[in-house]
Amino acid sequence: MKGVGVSPGIGHGPAYVLATVVPEPPEGLTYDGDADDEKARAQAALQQVAGALESRGHQAGGEARSILQAQALMAADPGLAVGVKSLIDRGVAAPRAIYEAFEKYREMLIGAGGYLGGRAADLDDVRDRAIALLTGQPLPGVPSEAAEPYVLVARDLAPADTAVLSKDVVAAFVTEEGGPTSHTAILARALGVPAVVACPGATTIPPGASVLVDGTSGEVRLAPSEDDVAEAEHAASIRQAAVDATRGPGRTRDGFPVALLANVGRPADLDPALANGAEGVGLYRTELLFLDRAEAPSLEEQEAAYRAVLESFPGGKVVVRTLDAGADKPLRFLPASGGEPNPALGERGLRLFRAFPDVMASQLAALAAAVVGTEAELQVMAPMVATAEEARWFVNACRTAGLDSAGVMIEIPAAALRAESLVTVADFVSIGTNDLAQYTFAADRQLGALTALQDPWQPVLLDLVAGTATAASDNGKPCGVCGEAAADPELACVLVGLGVTSLSMNAHALPAVRAALAASTLGDCQLAAQAARAATTAAHARAAARAYLPGLADLGL
């Protein structure tokens, strides 16, 4: 079988096929007794689900914690509770009332698209857990212990299924749905577990069947022979040894420097970044400090969180993305934010900052205070910038707050196409390839069916990167990439060939990217970039670039 590799490595073991084990309650299901008692039963089930998810999030920590906290909020959502109670008042039994109320909300999320659309699977998981509690069925889930590591196969995976797993339990993930930025992909990379998503027919794999998963190529092989497994593991060990042998700052074989940075969101992300040789932080997602809270974090709390990251990289660069929330990631303490009919195109990022200047002022002040006395180079950038006027406004706000380096993210086609006008006012630019691909192709990045359009090898996306990097270079400004594209060793070389000066990625991807650059000259990268841009499809672009990067084959990459 063939899917999309989203977390590199080789995984082998028996298949554990996660099926939907909670059936839909029958239509017309009614209850005997008092309506208030039935409402209390439904509410108790939802509260128990919320508490269990919250507890599991605390146990898991890291990326999983924020994801599960958001899922717990779904279970406790007042709007859903009102819908459930209304159905019970009409005689519908609690299990069916929860199913119908959640189904209506689910349709709203899918219609919204973007981040909210991608949360429909999370909502399904909350619904199924509540129904299982009400009907006495086993809760959905996967074994957290096993005699040997297994390959977890599913249509899709809810965060609660994967949050408390480890490499000791799971050899690999395979899902029929999802994309490079789905929760399965994010958590798999954080765990360092190979993963393949968007793999048609994966759930037809017989439970217990032996499976070999290549998280790099996306290949899923059933019933591999001992020789197949040995060959794959040998190739992986050679690749890992070659990768581990490359140390030090990022640079090409002929010495062209390329800063290799880490994407972080919480303190738990710092240790892996340092262990894998990150030279700094290229994307600090500060919104994780703000989400799922009834009140905004104080200036002092923000300052302490930012200082912890800055102090971890003395002499290094730390690029902080200001609050990327609102619309598709609404803030509970800003009731006016969110609720648009199309949140992916709504009031978020810099647009939210302009609507709520007190939130902006507090964050910028906390950043200015946090850098005092540290040796890090602080750079602050705004997300969702579309025009030069917006860039100028943000830079002026940073200057007023005492911040010396202010940049903007390039993730909207309008910004990429007119990058020249943005780099003349901003100190640097950073390209977010995930959203840039989503908006360029009108393809929701959470939908596995549209994975081909989200492929960062799409030549038109490379054109937008090239135009942005050229505009930055012509104006003497740095241009980084902080999207998932930077984590692909081959594509990292192409990005450098396009003129990108720094690459930021999940910490576990740093060694392979460092090795790929060290095996290629700047000329190799430039020729590979030219060949990729001349192609007509993403697959052809990758193949064309590969021909000019012979050093990667020697590494087994």
Listed ranges 57-61, 105-109, 151-155, 417-421; the one with the highest mean pLDDT: 417-421
Name the one residue in this structure whose structure tokens are 């590799």. Answer: 5
Share of the chain above pLDDT 90, in %: 56
User: What's the chain's average pLDDT?
Assistant: 88
For residue 289, the model assigns a pLDDT of 87
Listed ranges 104-113, 186-195, 272-281; the one with the highest mean pLDDT: 272-281
Residue 421 binned pLDDT confidence (cut-offs 50, 70, 90) = very high
- Structure token pair of residue 526: 């430039």
Are 22 and 132 in contact by the 8 Å Cβ rule? The answer is: yes
Average pLDDT over residues 74-83: 84
CATH 1.10.274.10 corresponds to the domain 35-135: yes
Q: CB neighbours of 43 closer than 8 A, spacing ≥ 6?
A: 81, 84
Residue 458 DSSP label: -
What gap in Å lies between CA 65 and CA 269, rounded to an integer?
A: 12
For residue 119, the model assigns a pLDDT of 65
What gap in Å lies between CA 203 and CA 153, rounded to an integer?
A: 6
What gap in Å lies between CA 330 and CA 325, rounded to an integer?
A: 6
The model's pLDDT over 436-472, given as tens digits with 9 standing for 90+, comes to 998 999 887 656 567 778 889 999 999 999 999 999 9
Q: Is 398 a catalytic residue?
A: no
CATH 3.20.20.60 corresponds to the domain 249-555: yes
Domain boundaries, the chain: 4-19+141-222, 35-135, 249-555
- Structure token pair of residue 83: 């819908």
Choice among 199, 398, 482, 493 that is catalytic:
482
For residue 276, the model assigns a pLDDT of 93
Share of the chain above pLDDT 70, in %: 89
The model's pLDDT over 121-142, given as tens digits with 9 standing for 90+, comes to 777 888 888 998 898 877 666 7
Residue 115 binned pLDDT confidence (cut-offs 50, 70, 90) = low
Q: Is 479 a catalytic residue?
A: no
33-44 burial code (b ≥16 CB/10 A, e <16): eeeeebbebbbe
For residue 116, the model assigns a pLDDT of 55
**pTM given for the model:** 0.73
- Structure token pair of residue 200: 């048609």
Residue 505 pLDDT exceeds 70: yes
Three-state SS string over 468-498 comes to HHHHHHHCCCCEEECCHHHHCHHHHHHHHHH
Residue 144 binned pLDDT confidence (cut-offs 50, 70, 90) = low
For residue 21, the model assigns a pLDDT of 64
Are 433 and 469 in contact by the 8 Å Cβ rule? The answer is: no
What gap in Å lies between CA 302 and CA 380, rounded to an integer?
A: 14
The architecture in CATH of the region 4-19+141-222 reads: 3-Layer(bba) Sandwich (3.50)
Residue 117 binned pLDDT confidence (cut-offs 50, 70, 90) = low
Choice among 12, 183, 493, 508 that is catalytic:
183
Q: In what order do the strands lie in the sheet with 170-175?
A: 4-7, 195-197, 170-175, 150-154, 10-18, 210-214, 220-222
